[in-house]
Structure 1
Amino acid sequence: MGYILPDRVRVVFIASFPAGAWQTNCYLVGPAPGGECVVVDPGVTAIDTLRRIVRDQGLVPAGVLLTHGHIDHMFSAAAVAEEYGIGCWIHPADRPSLTDPYSIPAARELVARTFGEAPDFTDREPSPLHEVADGDRIELAGLEFEALHAPGHTPGSTMYRLAYPDDDRYDALVLTGDVVFAGSVGRTDLPSGDPTVMAETLRHVVLGLADRTVLLPGHGGQTLVSRERATNPYLQL
Structure 2
Amino acid sequence: MLVAGFPTGAFQANCYLLAPGEGESCVIVDPGQDAEDGVREALRKHRLTPVAVLLTHGHFDHTFAVAPVCDGHDIPAWIHTEDRELLADPMKGLSNQSAAFFGGRLELREPKAVQELADGAELDLAGLRLSVDHTPGHTGGSVVFRSGTEEGGRLMLAGDTLFAGSIGRTDLPGGDSAVMMESLRDKILPLPDDTVVLPGHGPTTTIGQERRSNPFLADVGETARGGRRTGL
Q: TM-score, with normalisation over the residues of structure 2?
A: 0.89
**Post-superposition shift, 1:63?**
0.4
Matched residue count: 219
What is residue 14 of structure 2 aligned with on the other side? Answer: 25
What is residue 121 of structure 1 aligned with on the other side? Answer: 107
Secondary structure of 2:61 counterpart = helix
2:55 paired residue among 50, 62, 66: 66
Contact 1:75 1:121 in 2 (8 A): no
**Post-superposition shift, 1:120?**
4.9
Q: Which runs of 5+ in 2 are unaligned?
A: 221-232
**CA separation of 1:49 and 1:117: change in aligned 2, threshold 3 A:** farther
1:221 paired residue among 169, 191, 203: 203
**Post-superposition shift, 1:142?**
0.4
| 1:159-217 alpha-carbon deviations (Å, 9 max, x no partner) | 000112333xx3x1000000000100000012221001001011111101111111000
What is residue 110 of structure 1 aligned with on the other side? Answer: 98
Q: Which runs of 5+ in 1 are unaligned?
A: 1-11
What is residue 43 of structure 1 aligned with on the other side? Answer: 32
- What CA distance in whole angstroms lies between the structure 1 residues aligned with 2:8 and 2:100? 17
RMSD between superposed Cα atoms in Å: 1.6
What is residue 7 of structure 1 aligned with on the other side? Answer: none
What is residue 174 of structure 2 aligned with on the other side? Answer: 192
1:88 paired residue among 66, 77, 98: 77
- What CA distance in whole angstroms lies between the structure 1 residues aligned with 2:189 and 2:50? 32
Higher share in helix: 2
**Post-superposition shift, 1:24?**
0.4
Q: TM-score, with normalisation over the residues of structure 1?
A: 0.88
